Structure 1
Amino acid sequence: MVVLKEITVLTTQYNQWIRITDEIERVMKESGIQNGIVNVISRHTTTGVTVNESLECLESDMSEFLSRLAPEDWPYAHARMLRDYGSTAGNPTGHLKSLMTGNHCHLVVSGGELERGGAQEVYFCEFDGPAKRTVMVQIMGE
């Protein structure tokens, strides 16, 4: 069986870490699938999906790390007029941060439970907000 659901995430900041583990577990439980895999993927190119420990200090460290790797004041080629869009691209750091975090994760379902380590949480990462975002959750199994 395959179940596909969408989660809507309303972000409130330009860069933001939002824990979505509970929503994924809810969708997984509603699917009735007992054994299989959960695929979680963002539908946006300036967001990420990643798994890590849920600590405010670690979220701050991850944000600072990504900001050092993709500083806002760098002369990016993407920060220019894009004729196809009819506007100036102002979000090159969002694309680069998404590249570093990835835009998806995969989790195992066993005995109707989401298998993850005790400190593992799934994060939706906003790098170009605030915005209304969509995350796809696909559960495959039996």
Structure 2
Amino acid sequence: MYVESITLLTKEYNEYTVITPKVLDIVKRSGVQNGTVTVLTKHTTTGVTVNEALECLESDIENFLGRLIPEDYPYSHARMLRDYGSTAGNPTGHLKAMLTGNHCHFPVIDGEMVRGGAQEIYFCEFDGPAHRTINVIIQEEK
């Protein structure tokens, strides 16, 4: 197994970043010829999803999630958390992350990550700006 991390400093509260080129570079560096690659975020208010990289589609995704999970809803999570010693103000981030998922998988064949022509890997920030870490895990076929 080969593991490498991608670190990002997001700039926006909600942000969509294509990380496909970084993942492709990691797959190459791994030396794995046949197996699988998993891309996994380490944060509960971020997501990893696969879609076509178009600005208009990113806008549609953001608008869709905003309609499903409005900022002004009276969420239970928006309250004082004694364990943290502060108010939880990120319920929408948790819910959006739940919908987008926290990982994706692709096969690796002959040293190349296999994906559809329009498939790009997005890192989705729903509680930024923040420092974020994404693990890329490549498992070799035995």
Give 1:119's aligned residue: 118
Kindly report which structure 2 residues correspond to 1:85-104, keeping only aligned pairs within 5 A, or say none. 85-104=84-103
Give 2:132's aligned residue: 133
The Cα of 1:77 is off from its aligned counterpart by 0.2
- Taking the aligned partners of 1:53 and 1:10, their CA distance within structure 2 comes to 23
Letter in 2 for 1:76: Y
- Taking the aligned partners of 2:27 and 2:42, their CA distance within structure 1 comes to 19
Give 1:21's aligned residue: 20
The Cα of 1:9 is off from its aligned counterpart by 1.2
Query: Residue 123 of structure 2 aligns to a residue in which SS?
Result: strand
Please list the CA deviations of residues 53-74 of structure 1 after superposition, one character each: whole Å capped at 9, or x if unmatched.
0000000000000001110000
Structure 1 position 55 matched with structure 2 position 41: no
Letter in 1 for 2:116: G
Give 1:76's aligned residue: 75
Give 2:65's aligned residue: 66
- Taking the aligned partners of 1:18 and 1:74, their CA distance within structure 2 comes to 26
Query: Residue 75 of structure 2 aligns to a residue in which SS?
Result: coil
Q: Which residues of structure 1 form unaligned runs of 5+? A: none
Query: Residue 129 of structure 2 aligns to a residue in which SS?
Result: coil
RMSD over aligned Cα atoms? 0.6
Identical pairs, percent? 65
The normalised TM-score by structure 1 is: 0.98
Q: Which residues of structure 2 form unaligned runs of 5+? A: none
Runs of 4+ residues over 6 Å off in structure 1: none
Query: Residue 75 of structure 1 aligns to a residue in which SS?
Result: coil
Query: Residue 96 of structure 1 aligns to a residue in which SS?
Result: helix
- Taking the aligned partners of 2:83 and 2:69, their CA distance within structure 1 comes to 25
Letter in 2 for 1:96: L
The Cα of 1:111 is off from its aligned counterpart by 1.0
Number of residue-to-residue matches in the alignment: 141
Letter in 2 for 1:7: I
Query: Residue 108 of structure 2 aligns to a residue in which SS?
Result: strand
Give 1:36's aligned residue: 35
